[in-house]
Chain A
Amino acid sequence: MTRTVRLAGYLLLWSYAAVALAPMLVMLLNSLRPNADVLSVPLGLPSTLDFTNYETAWTEASFSTYVWNSVLVTAGAVALDVGVALPASYALGRFGFRGRAVLTAYFLAGLMLPVRLGILPTFHLLGSMNLIDSRLGLILVYAAGGIPFSVFVMTAFFRGLPADLDEAARLDGAGELRIFARIMVPLVKPAIATVVVFRFVPLWNDFFYPLVLLRSSDRYTLPVGLTQFFGEFQTNWAALFAGLVITTVPLIVLFVVATRQIVEGLTAGLGR
Chain B
Amino acid sequence: MRRRLIAFWFVLPAFLLYTVFAVYPLLSALANSFWRWQGTARAGFAGTDNFTGLFTTFPLDQQLWPAFWHTMAFFAGTMLMQNTVGLLIAVLLAELPVARRFLRTVFTVPYLVGGLVVGYLWSLLLSPVFGPVGAGLDAMGLGALARPWLGDPATALPTVILVNAWHHLGFPILLFGAALAGLPPEYGECARVDGATAWQRFRRVTLPLLLPSIGVISILTFLGSMNTFELVYALSGAQGNQPTGPGGATDVLGLLFYRIAFAEGGTNAIGQSSALAVLLFIATFVVAVTADRFIRSRS
Q: Which residues of A contact B (CB under 8 A)?
A: 1, 5-6, 9-10, 12-14, 16-17, 19-21, 23-24, 26-27, 30, 38-39, 41-43, 80, 83-85, 87-88, 90-92, 95-98, 100, 103, 107, 110, 112-122, 124-125, 140-141, 143-145, 147-148, 151, 176, 180, 201, 204-208, 211-212, 223, 226-227, 230, 237, 240-241, 244, 247-248, 251-252, 254-256, 259, 262-263, 266-267, 269-270
Contacts and interface: CB of A to CB of B under 8 A. Distances in A.
A208 B229 CA distance: 8
**Complex A-B, nearest 7 residue pairs according to Cβ-Cβ distance, in ascending order:** A205-B114, A118-B25, A144-B21, A88-B14, A121-B28, A91-B10, A121-B25
Nearest to B18: A147
A255 B227 contact: no
Contact of B17 (A14, A143, A263): A143
A251 B180 CA distance: 26
A115 B18 CA distance: 11
* Chain B interface size range: 35 or more
A144 B22 CA distance: 6
Contact of A97 (B3, B21, B108, B223): B3
A42 B178 contact: no
B285 interface: yes
Interface in B247-270: 257-258, 261-262, 270
Contact of A118 (B22, B85, B105, B230): B22
Given A176-B6, A240-B124, A42 B134 contact: yes
Contacts of A121: 24-26, 28-29, 32
B120 interface: yes
B243 interface: no
Contacts of A112: 223, 284-285, 288-289
B14 A141 contact: no
Nearest to B107: A20
B22 to A, nearest CB: 4
The listed residue with most A CB atoms (<10 A of its CB), out of B89, B106, B107, B240, is: B106
Interface in B71-112: 85, 88-89, 92-93, 95-96, 98, 103, 105-110, 112
B15 interface: yes
Contacts of A117: 26, 29, 257, 277-278, 280-281
B20 interface: yes
B143 interface: no
B116 A24 contact: no
